[in-house]
Structure 1
Amino acid sequence: MASPVSPINPYTPLSTAPSSSTNSNSTSVFSSYLGRFSKWRAELGLPNPGSVENLQKEVKATHLTNYAFDGGRADLTKSMSMNPLFQVTHSFALGSQTMAPSYNFGAIYATENVFLQGGVDHDGNVNARVNQGWSNGHVSKAQAQLSQTPGHNLLQLEQDYNGQDFNLNLKAVNPWPTDLTGIFVGSYLQSITKNFACGTEWVLQRPTPSTSELVATYLAKYTSTDKSWIATAQLQPAGILQATYWQKLSEKVDFAADLQLVATPMRRDAVATLGAKYDLRLSTFRAQLDSTGKVSALLEQRFTPTFAFLMSGEIDHFKNSAKVGVGVMIESSALSPEEMEMQMQQMQMQQLSPPQ
């Protein structure tokens, strides 16, 4: 006699084994596709395009924008050690037509993964910067400024990730977590071919919880196969375009051009800048000319490894004005010339983006 079949309890949950198997298969298929896609990207051998912040690094190093000065200037540097790198600097400036006389004391400490920089001026304004390198291309950055002037305090937090063929950067300036005010920046740059990269940068400004503005910028970068010339472009839909071109004419000569075009309903303007840099045996000479009538030049003459003389000049033909600057840089160190060269290389590697 057959045993009776037990009735099914309607409140007993059915087995979920088929559903789990389906989810497992879907995950496995997705992982397989992702693995094949990653392998295909690796086989392309696309280079890392660099960060959006350094998109025009070569042009800025050639032009005088970050180097020109007027009045008198002196930088006295003392290197304490090489590994870890530690040095202090006393900077003096006076006689400028645009800036008041100032004194700044700065210090730099750097290891393989950490870069620390700080300074304080004669008014008590303090600035600090830290870069922490992690594994797999992750770099965390923080920058702060405490000023005696209201509204000039700054806190900037940044996370940078360098992938095999892309760069991703997230940044927050003066963020306030309770109402989400501040300035938030996100950028992404992707190599499409071995020579061409494109990307975008989005800036969200929230001065108040009820006010916000979103601005998008589209970026492009083309690098020649032998890396002897680089062309970049930045476009904002509002009508702002910036295009640059840099070329290494020879081992000691660099040339750079910059075009900034503004075509908005409220303003129409364009400025073109041409510049060149000459690296001689013991000196560096920069010259620059722009469409506003300004002619600028800067000479950095190094007489010994520890002493350099600087002379900067600018003539504005349209405004009939001129500026002249004279400076010295003195370095005191017990390190050998080889150690000093290694120190400079280490600083350049740690200080990924020079302050603007």
Structure 2
Amino acid sequence: MASIPASLGDPSSSSFSPSPSPSSSNSFPLSLYNRFSKWRSELGLPNPGSVENLQKEVKVVHLTNYAFEGGRADITKSMSMNPLFQVTHSFALGSQNTSSYNFGAIFANEKVFLQGGVDHEGNVNARMNQGWTSSHVTKMQAQISQQLGHNLLQLEHDYTGQDFNLNLKAVNPWPTDLTGVFVGSYLQSITKNIALGTEWLLQRPTPNTSEMMATYLAKYTSSDKSWIATAQAQPAGVLQATYWQKLSEKVEFAADLQLMATPMRRDAVATLGAKYDLRLSTFRAQLDSTGKVAALLEQRFTPTFAFLMSGEIDHFKNSAKVGVGVMIESSTLSQEEMEVQMQQMQSPTNPPL
């Protein structure tokens, strides 16, 4: 019987070389990733917010989401605080004698936000936000309309990192042929003041037709967060720049510039706006380069009753729009409970209306 050489049976022999284990072969990439994560956390970069809220401060100052025409009345009833449950009756009368009615309801707690509404024509809209963790939020928005082509289904997921925000969105997706509109955005803090990002939009109206468009984003926030400047650029020739500044505790200023230089269209619109928060009222004023001057006054006489007045004058078209409205809130909650309710509605999972 042949004997086994001692060098093969002795691990201490120089000719014995054991094969590396899988864990040791993967230790270097893992160690490199851990060192990189530690280095990023030590920088202390802030979260830049989502791309959707890139111009949030400017939109709060300008009248785009607040101005209205004709008559308007909103009656809100709060049923409970935790969980939050309230219903709203909204009435509107337009300048062309077109009236509308909408019934809406809101349910919210620490993890879930549900909002739904139906109007007098039978159009239904719904919205849901589900917060899985402090970093992951899934959103859904749906609309069922009596008009052909106005139905909507939007699925969205937000991931909020320590110094970045990632968002994935699908609008009217069809899984069998992968048609629909798909959007992906990423915003990363480079320094404590500067954030850069991009947004990509893919349109697939048919399985054989697709179009992709990219948008590049930049955001600068001052160290004391008293002013914010943003910019969005598309290679096709579209540029939008905004500037917001908090002049005092009660006064905010915002500017918006939109440029379009495409082979089919060349246009530019500049908008300036200001918001004044007084003790029981809020006044917004806006002026743009197309000759429009607009203003909105929200006067709150009591915590449960507010009077609204909206007006716009177009000097170039020689036209004017006027709106008058009231907001009535009925609640059995105490003042402390109402403050908690407002904080709950303004959380990341439960966005403001």
Q: Structure 2 length as normaliser, TM-score?
A: 0.94
Pair 1:354–1:184, CA change in 2 (3 A) = farther
Q: 1: CA distance between counterparts of 2:165 and 2:352?
A: 18
- Residue in structure 1 matched with residue 15 of structure 2 by the alignment: none
Residue type at the aligned position of 2:88: T
Structure 1: runs of 5 or more not aligned: 6-16
Shift of 1:337: 1.8
Question: Which of 122, 125, 129 in structure 2 is aligned with 1:124?
Answer: 122
Tell me the alpha carbon deviations over residues 119-153 of structure 1, each in whole angstroms, 9 at most, x when there is no partner.
00000110000000011410000010011111010
Pair 1:132–1:2, CA change in 2 (3 A) = closer
Question: Which of 304, 315, 328 in structure 2 is aligned with 1:317?
Answer: 315
- Residue in structure 1 matched with residue 36 of structure 2 by the alignment: 37
- Residue in structure 2 matched with residue 79 of structure 1 by the alignment: 78
- Residue in structure 1 matched with residue 294 of structure 2 by the alignment: 296
Q: Could you tell me whether the CA contact under 8 Å between 1:113 and 1:350 is conserved in 2?
A: no
Pair 1:352–1:242, CA change in 2 (3 A) = farther
Question: Which of 194, 199, 202 in structure 2 is aligned with 1:196?
Answer: 194
Residue type at the aligned position of 1:59: V
Q: Secondary structure at the match of 1:93?
A: strand
Shift of 1:3: 5.0
Pair 1:352–1:244, CA change in 2 (3 A) = farther
Question: Which of 144, 147, 152 in structure 1 is aligned with 2:145?
Answer: 147
- Residue in structure 1 matched with residue 48 of structure 2 by the alignment: 49
Q: 1: CA distance between counterparts of 2:237 and 2:317?
A: 28
Q: Secondary structure at the match of 1:29?
A: helix
Q: Could you tell me whether the CA contact under 8 Å between 2:111 and 2:349 is conserved in 1?
A: no
Question: Which of 205, 209, 216 in structure 2 is aligned with 1:218?
Answer: 216
Q: Could you tell me whether the CA contact under 8 Å between 2:111 and 2:132 is conserved in 1?
A: yes
- Residue in structure 1 matched with residue 163 of structure 2 by the alignment: 165
- Residue in structure 2 matched with residue 101 of structure 1 by the alignment: 99
Q: Could you tell me whether the CA contact under 8 Å between 1:71 and 1:95 is conserved in 2?
A: yes
Shift of 1:4: 9.2
Tell me the alpha carbon deviations over residues 90-120 of structure 1, each in whole angstroms, 9 at most, x when there is no partner.
00001235x9321000000000011000000
Q: Could you tell me whether the CA contact under 8 Å between 2:219 and 2:229 is conserved in 1?
A: yes
- Residue in structure 2 matched with residue 333 of structure 1 by the alignment: 331
Q: 2: CA distance between counterparts of 1:172 and 1:200?
A: 17
Q: Could you tell me whether the CA contact under 8 Å between 1:114 and 1:350 is conserved in 2?
A: no
Q: Could you tell me whether the CA contact under 8 Å between 1:253 and 1:279 is conserved in 2?
A: yes
Instruction: Show structure 1 runs of 4+ deviating over 3 A.
Output: 1-5, 350-355
Residue type at the aligned position of 1:341: E
Shift of 1:2: 4.2
Residue type at the aligned position of 2:292: K
Structure 2: runs of 5 or more not aligned: 6-17
Residue type at the aligned position of 1:314: E
Q: Secondary structure at the match of 2:26?
A: helix
Count of residues in correspondence between the two structures: 341
- Residue in structure 2 matched with residue 232 of structure 1 by the alignment: 230
Q: 2: CA distance between counterparts of 1:111 and 1:29?
A: 44
Q: 2: CA distance between counterparts of 1:309 and 1:71?
A: 14
Q: Could you tell me whether the CA contact under 8 Å between 2:202 and 2:213 is conserved in 1?
A: yes
Q: Could you tell me whether the CA contact under 8 Å between 2:112 and 2:349 is conserved in 1?
A: no
- Report which stretch shifted further, 59-68 or 87-96: 87-96
Kindly report the root-mean-square deviation, in angstroms, between the aligned alpha carbons of the 2 structures: 1.5
Q: 1: CA distance between counterparts of 2:340 and 2:254?
A: 28
Tell me the alpha carbon deviations over residues 34-57 of structure 1, each in whole angstroms, 9 at most, x when there is no partner.
000000000000000000000000
Q: Secondary structure at the match of 2:233?
A: strand
Question: Which of 259, 262, 269 in structure 2 is aligned with 1:261?
Answer: 259
Q: 2: CA distance between counterparts of 1:271 and 1:261?
A: 7
- Residue in structure 1 matched with residue 60 of structure 2 by the alignment: 61
Q: 1: CA distance between counterparts of 2:227 and 2:246?
A: 6
Q: Secondary structure at the match of 1:349?
A: coil
Q: Secondary structure at the match of 2:78?
A: strand
Q: 1: CA distance between counterparts of 2:3 and 2:308?
A: 104
Pair 1:349–1:339, CA change in 2 (3 A) = same
Identity, % of aligned pairs?
A: 83
Q: 1: CA distance between counterparts of 2:111 and 2:227?
A: 31
Pair 1:312–1:2, CA change in 2 (3 A) = closer
Q: 2: CA distance between counterparts of 1:351 and 1:313?
A: 34
Residue type at the aligned position of 2:303: P
Shift of 1:184: 0.1
- Residue in structure 1 matched with residue 268 of structure 2 by the alignment: 270
Q: Structure 1 length as normaliser, TM-score?
A: 0.93
